[in-house]
């Protein structure tokens, strides 16, 4: 981000959080501890009624999106530049070459045991999803005959318990 863009963003948002962005603009000196301190300072202004918590949440969402997109868009350039085999320390961060996003393709092994177990797992997951979809449609206790183990047992199934937490969903436009 250009210094002009960062300054403009900071000026637009500075009144909201006591100049947090202005203080973080010199990102080269920012550490985990200074980030924690700045966050605590903002939280304290919310507790004291100085900063609106809704505005602070929106600000945090914007900063999260900015950081996420910036990292995603510069990572390729940084990785192509590299940091050497010894790594690099700068601005309170350590960078090193490492294998990331490791995954294995077990289908390439040709192992019949793995293939059989994988097929059983996928079939069980599909059956479970179908049953869960059915159970979501159950709105009151229902008596059924359970033939799954050959016993023909009569059981009463109940609607699943739905749980969640009411919160704020922040969507950027």
Query: What pLDDT is recorded for position 151?
Result: 80
Pairing of strands 93-95, 88-90: antiparallel
**What is the sign of the dihedral through the CA atoms of 12, 13, 14 and 20?**
negative
Query: What pLDDT is recorded for position 19?
Result: 57
Round to whole Å and give the CA distance between 82 and 41.
36
- CB count within 10 Å of CB 20 equals 21
What's the pTM? 0.64
Contacts of 71 (CB under 8 A, 6+ apart): none
**10-residue averages of pLDDT along the chain (173 residues):** 46 50 69 89 92 93 92 92 88 89 95 97 98 96 88 91 90 85
Q: How far is CA 109 from CA 28, 98, 102, 106, 112, in A?
A: 47, 25, 17, 5, 9
Query: What pLDDT is recorded for position 31?
Result: 87
Query: What pLDDT is recorded for position 13?
Result: 47
Query: What pLDDT is recorded for position 149?
Result: 80
C-alpha 45, offset from chain centre: 26
Query: What pLDDT is recorded for position 61?
Result: 94
């Amino acid at each position: 981000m250009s210094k002009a863009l960062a300054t403009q963003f900071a000026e637009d948002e500075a009144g909201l959080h006591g100049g947090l962005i202005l203080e973080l603009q010199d990102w080269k000196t920012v550490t985990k501890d200074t980030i924690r301190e700045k966050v605590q300072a903002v939280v304290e202004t919310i507790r004291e009624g100085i900063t609106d918590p809704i505005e602070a949440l929106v600000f945090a969402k914007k900063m999260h999106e900015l950081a996420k997109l910036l990292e995603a868009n510069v990572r390729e350039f940084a990785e192509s530049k590299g940091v050497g085999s010894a790594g690099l320390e700068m601005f309170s961060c350590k960078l090193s070459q490492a294998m990331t996003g490791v995954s294995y393709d077990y289908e390439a092994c040709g192992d019949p045991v793995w293939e059989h177990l994988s097929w059983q797992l996928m079939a069980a997951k599909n059956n479970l999803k179908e049953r869960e979809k059915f159970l979501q449609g159950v709105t009151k206790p229902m008596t059924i005959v359970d033939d799954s183990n050959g016993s023909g047992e009569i059981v009463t199934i109940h609607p699943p318990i739905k749980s969640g937490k009411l919160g704020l969903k922040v969507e950027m436009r």
